[in-house]
Amino acid sequence: MSSPVLVEATRGGRVESRHRGSVAIVDGDGARVFALGAVSDPVFPRSACKAMQALPLVESGAADAYGFGDAELALACASHNGEPEHVALAGRMLQVAGLQAEALECGAHWSFDQPTLIGQARSLDRPTALHNNCSGKHAGFLCAACHSGMEPRGYVAYGHPLQAEIRSAMEDLTGTLIDADRCGIDGCSIPTYAVPLDRLAHGFARMATGIGLGRLRAEASRRLIAACMAEPFYVAGTKRACTTLMRLAPGRIFVKTGAEGVFCAAIPEKGLGIALKCEDGATRAAEAMVAAVLARCLRDDPALEAALLAEANRTMRNWNGTAVGEIRVSDALTQA
Amino acid sequence: MSSPVLVEATRGGRVESRHRGSVAIVDGDGARVFALGAVSDPVFPRSACKAMQALPLVESGAADAYGFGDAELALACASHNGEPEHVALAGRMLQVAGLQAEALECGAHWSFDQPTLIGQARSLDRPTALHNNCSGKHAGFLCAACHSGMEPRGYVAYGHPLQAEIRSAMEDLTGTLIDADRCGIDGCSIPTYAVPLDRLAHGFARMATGIGLGRLRAEASRRLIAACMAEPFYVAGTKRACTTLMRLAPGRIFVKTGAEGVFCAAIPEKGLGIALKCEDGATRAAEAMVAAVLARCLRDDPALEAALLAEANRTMRNWNGTAVGEIRVSDALTQA
């Protein structure tokens, strides 16, 4: 099934570029509340499912044993900017487990955030694995493995017992088979599994509601979602969409992006999970889509709806600050 | 008319993201040699038509009066990285016309190229207008205006006589009306005009062949195209697609990108002009498309065809250098 145009970029009053996408909103029982496009097609959630991947950290008791609070759990679910606070906290998480940065197997990269990159360029010869946007997730993996008595080395491999635990949790949450046939390798070297978009949304509805989950998993899920909502800076960083959107309604919206135009989200008070994918992988479009979808779910709070729509539809300015066009979402996302 | 999928990004053997696009290949007489997608739809060429916008610089006699060679003319047609050589040459172009960097009206930005940005962050407090990727084009505009006795201030405005000259040249080359109804404002504050993709391709076929142009314009066009092919570093920079593709076949391929997934190109030996637009504006996809289209036009040189296809289809690696997927072009671009 093909995907409809959901976001347009305009210039001089004309549409300059178009982004297609698919969106699924699902409740805790698995019922589709809203669907647009190819919602049964498998999609790699990439970093959008980091909260699912962090479940062993909590369920194993590692998070409690190491004294992790909301900030550490949020960072374990994060794709962060590599700002100094992110880098320092990832280092501290490793330290309490008796590990060094060298244990991280995610690889190193400069920040994707321009102001952070400029700061890094002025203070570092080169970035380390602690600066990788996934360093918090990897620190969480290492803490879970160490606390559970697993050999930490090779924790990124498909065959490592930690990755097997993650597969099991994802199968439980999404109700789909998670195996080698659905596996790709992510940017930070861990396995990523293609899951139908509506099953991914169902998984996040379950994490937010606990419906159909065992007590331990329901509690761990709610704790991770709550930690991200309580510490949105540690999920992404300055001026990032996940951080901005969660700050608009503290404790009411969970939202997490993934590479190639994916977003997963949950609205606990509505019992809803959301998953969306921009066909072409564009971040600018996926950000507009998720803001518009959150707005449609929260129409009963007109001030919040307006604030979310202001994130979805925005003016583009050039280097001189002149308004040159708009990013705008289609009626299909906002209406009926 | 809708645009077909022309480029796919894969991961773990599955298609992860899809890019649609339109492509027109036209000869000097205006005949369509190849067309895919919505080639009659108007598209903002953005920076892809900088060689057209540089015509007044040559036609006015300014380029000769100021002693400009291939490097200066290439920079006048460039979207450069802001590498030290680009910045220095833009400064020298202004200097010979008796102007300072403050005359530039393009605005300032840090380099889009990560290694260049890191170097800039370590050596500069902040970038100036000379570092703007369009500084060479703007230096060329100022030189043309000064040599022609025009007031240089306000040269970016629709109503400035230099912009009127550019409109006239673009109408002549593309055979389409270029006016305020088709006007948007570009990132560097100059007007950009929406032109049907096939007419844009025709314009570049005419620039490469001179067919249907007056003697002065035909000569200026060929000189600008030849300058870009002779100095590809000054058209873009280190590891940039325009530079890489032109270096694969020195003097035989002209190629220039524009924002939002546009490419214009010409193959003088074949008398062909090319214009393409990625529907979603993605650079990675537009780069693959133009390499594949150039390859199909140059099949009679199998080594060059293979080198171009190696740019079109490429392996994506993660931060650890592991191959995780591919960017690959569709059969529609390469076959029949």
Q: What is the pLDDT of residue B291?
A: 98
The model's confidence at residue A1, banded by pLDDT at 50, 70 and 90, is low
Enter the tokens of residue B111: 């380099």
Residues A224 and A57: their CA atoms lie apart, in Å, by: 10
Rg (CA), chain B: 19
Q: Is the pLDDT of residue B47 over 70?
A: yes
- Note whether A186 contacts B280, CB cutoff 8 Å: no
Enter the tokens of residue A294: 């959150």
- Note whether B17 contacts A281, CB cutoff 8 Å: yes
Enter the tokens of residue B333: 């671009």
pTM for the model: 0.97
Whole-number mean pLDDT of chain B? 97
Mean pLDDT in residue range A36-63:
98
Enter the tokens of residue A253: 């919206």
Q: Helices in A60-124 by DSSP H: which ranges?
A: 62-65, 70-76, 84-96, 114-123
Q: Which residues contact residue B88 at a Cβ distance below 8 angstroms, ignoring those fewer than 6 apart?
A: none
Mean pLDDT in residue range A238-252:
98
Mean pLDDT in residue range B270-288:
98
Q: What is the pLDDT of residue B2?
A: 79
Residues B151 and B139: their CA atoms lie apart, in Å, by: 14
Helix axes B197-209, B215-230, angle to 10 degrees: 90
Residues of A in contact with B261 (CB under 8 A): 17
Partner residues linked to A10 by β-bridges: A15, A326
Q: What is the pLDDT of residue A210?
A: 98
Task: Flag whether residue B109 sits within 8 Å of chain A, measured between CB atoms.
Answer: yes
Looking at CA atoms only, how far is residue B225 from chain A in angstroms?
Answer: 27
Residues A197 and A174: their CA atoms lie apart, in Å, by: 10
H/E element holding B299? none
Nearest to B205 by CA among B298, B272, B297: B272
Q: Contact B326/B284 with Cβ under 8 angstroms?
A: no
- Note whether B16 contacts A281, CB cutoff 8 Å: yes
- Note whether B184 contacts A42, CB cutoff 8 Å: no
Q: Is the pLDDT of residue B39 over 60?
A: yes
- Best mutation site among B16, B116, B133 for testing chain A: the one with the most A CBs within 10 Å? B16
- Closest Cα in chain A to B12: A184
H/E element holding A56? helix A55-59
Q: What is the pLDDT of residue B335?
A: 86
Contacts 24+ apart (CB under 8 A), B251-254: B251/B226, B252/B298, B252/B304, B253/B229, B253/B294, B253/B298, B254/B51, B254/B204, B254/B208, B254/B225, B254/B228, B254/B229
Mean pLDDT in residue range A162-189:
97
Nearest to A276 by CA among A266, A265, A287, A262: A262
Q: What is the pLDDT of residue B138?
A: 98
How does pLDDT run across B131-159, given as a tens digit for each residue? 999 999 999 999 999 999 999 999 999 99
Task: Flag whether residue A112 sits within 8 Å of chain B, measured between CB atoms.
Answer: no
Using alpha carbons, list the distances in angstroms from residue A12 to A15, A261, B93, B152, B159: 8, 26, 31, 25, 16
Nearest to B67 by CA among B147, B133, B151: B147
Residues B114 and A116: their CA atoms lie apart, in Å, by: 13
Q: Contact A186/B318 with Cβ under 8 angstroms?
A: yes
Nearest 5 degrees, angle CA B289-CA A258-CA B286? 10
How far, rounded to the nearest angstrom, does the alpha carbon of residue B226 sit from its chain's CA centroid? 14
Nearest to B213 by CA among B136, B139, B138, B273: B273
Nearest 5 degrees, angle CA B270-CA B271-CA B273? 105
Residues A148 and B334: their CA atoms lie apart, in Å, by: 53
Partner residues linked to A327 by β-bridges: A9, A314
Pairing of strands A262-267, A254-258: antiparallel
How does pLDDT run across B72-94, given as a tens digit for each residue? 999 999 999 999 999 999 999 99
Task: Flag whether residue B93 sits within 8 Å of chain A, measured between CB atoms.
Answer: no
Q: Is the pLDDT of residue A2 over 90?
A: no
Q: Is the pLDDT of residue B1 over 60?
A: no
- Note whether B14 contacts A194, CB cutoff 8 Å: yes
Q: Which amino acid belongs to residue A93? A: M
The predicted complex's ipTM stands at: 0.97
